[in-house]
Amino acid sequence: QKEVEQDPGPLSVPEGAIVSLNCTYSNSAFQYFMWYRQYSRKGPELLMYTYSSGNKEDGRFTAQVDKSSKYISLFIRDSQPSDSATYLCAMKPLYGGSQGNLIFGKGTKLSVKP
């Protein structure tokens, strides 16, 4: 079983739609969860991070973590064409190593149509 599973899409939605992106994981040691946005041939750009179960909101973005189900989500409200990118979930344990060894999902490619 892969450590982090993410539906690669592609996901195509009309402008203004609510987008739901999800990842599941198998390692219960993962405690920190991040969402990155990656444009084609560019570096991952940090959108949000959280370490507790529940919701965290930042503008049009809401990150949701359910540790009991090992399931995380990113919601994008009022999606815009500029949101078109690949969204990567990443996670890591609380302890161990240099705390930089992020485990990434494969990414979901999102296209928002005008």
Partner 1 sequence: EPEVTQTPSHQVTQMGQEVILRCVPISNHLYFYWYRQILGQKVEFLVSFYNNEISEKSEIFDDQFSVERPDGSNFTLKIRSTKLEDSAMYFCASRNWGAGNTIYFGEGSWLTVV
Where on the chain is the footprint of partner 1 (CB under 8 A)? 32, 34, 36, 41-46, 49, 51, 88, 90, 92, 97-107
Q: Which is nearer to partner 1, 32 or 75 (CB)?
A: 32
Let me know: does 70 contact 81? Beta carbons within 8 Å: no
Say how many C-beta atoms besides its own lie within 10 A of residue 84's C-beta: 18
Let me know: does 90 contact 62? Beta carbons within 8 Å: no
Q: Which is nearer to partner 1, 14 or 82 (CB)?
A: 82
Smallest distance, partner 1 to C-beta of residue 90, A = 8
Smallest distance, partner 1 to C-beta of residue 72, A = 14
Q: 8: which 2 tokens?
A: 């690669």
Angle at 104 between CA 63 and CA 12, to 5 degrees: 60
Q: Which is nearer to partner 1, 96 or 114 (CB)?
A: 96
